[in-house]
Amino acid sequence: MPNDETSTKPAELGYRMPAEWEPHAATWLSWPRREGISFPDSYDRVVPTFRAMVGALLESEPVNLNVCNGAHEAEARAALQDLPGEKLSFHVIPTNEPWCRDHGPIFLIRAKDPQMAVVDWDYNAWGGKYPPCDLDEVVPTRVAETLGLPVYYPHMILEGGSIDVNGAGALLTTEGCLLNPNRNPQLSRGQIEQRLRDYLGVREILWLGDGIEGDDTDGHIDDLTRFASERTVVTVTEEDESDANHGPLQANLERLRSLTINGKPLEIMTLPMPGRIVRENLRLPASYANFYIANQSILLPTFADPKDEEAVTVLQRAFPTRRIIPIDCRELIWGLGAFHCLTQQQPAL
């Protein structure tokens, strides 16, 4: 049920993007393809991490899994065969790569005449870095068709990992990504902000600066700073002044200290950064901020690092009613992302 460009904007109809900690009906994932580019020569090594992720999610909520065809579904089922299947559904919605946060639907809800809708942002694989992305580009509409939901088209390139919302009118993002000329060179900062307001139901846009070293997304917020409540954020910092991440993360922290929501300052909790992870001379963007908030738990990427336990402790304080589930992501991070990059929440009405 697509809506054309002249349609009333979702915000005018009372829609909003809920916070990730609000109740989920399900989590959507896209199963990786053996021939995909995300995990060069390491598909078999990364599958156990996917299995651990799906297993943890199924303890909390249903999982909807996108696959390309019957053979792809069979491969995924074989990897997940010992998991409970009653809450696991497969959908033939082909994808190029598995990063459902970025190519998947962003769901909206409204309280009046309770309804859900999908926003289908344009998608160019992180600024045209990894063609082809033709299958990924249409995933939101395909999901909406599967669920029988209306679709709104902002006609602006945006990946889900580049934004985080508190569900109450505030949105976090970065200049490094959203203002990058490889996304929407025809749009001004003000025009980008207006699209976010019109299509996500937010009012206040909180801008941070640059991302971490090795992040090929140009600075997605989900590697940096996340809402933990309407006015609380958790943000990563790097204590080692010789590390390339120290300066940008310190600058982001200073910005956070100056930002407000409804005129009130943010409550800031800091997460450590794991030590450098280098593979084939490439620094990988390992970050504890790339956690996923499920209904009953937090899926936390860990890296066999001394800072893993500190990250668990901080997130347990940030989310006291949820169980923190640490899962080793040393193989997954070779794809330059972790659990938040792979997941997309479908809110409960």
Q: What is the CATH number of the domain that holds 246?
A: 3.75.10.10
**Is 329 in the active site?**
no
254 occurs within a structural domain: yes
Residue 302 domain boundaries: 10-347
8 Å CB contact between 329 and 287: no
315 occurs within a structural domain: yes
Closest CA to 137 of 93, 164, 103: 103
pLDDT of residue 258 exceeding 50, the answer is yes
Q: Which of 100, 133, 329, 341 is catalytic?
A: 341
**124 pLDDT band (50/70/90 cuts)?**
very high
Strand order in the sheet with 204-208: 164-165, 170-174, 204-208
Cis peptide bond N-terminal to 132, omega within 30: yes
pLDDT of residue 5 exceeding 50, the answer is no
8 Å CB contact between 185 and 197: no
4 occurs within a structural domain: no
Question: Which is it for the CA torsion 237, 240, 244, 248, positive or negative?
Answer: positive
What mean pLDDT do residues 141-157 have? 98
1 occurs within a structural domain: no
What mean pLDDT do residues 151-160 have? 98
How many domains would you assign to the chain?
A: 1
pLDDT of residue 131 exceeding 80, the answer is yes
pLDDT of residue 2 exceeding 60, the answer is no
Parallel, antiparallel or unpaired: strands 232-236 and 225-227: antiparallel
218 occurs within a structural domain: yes
113 occurs within a structural domain: yes
The pTM score is 0.97
Question: Facing residues of 236 across strands?
Answer: 271
2 occurs within a structural domain: no
39 occurs within a structural domain: yes
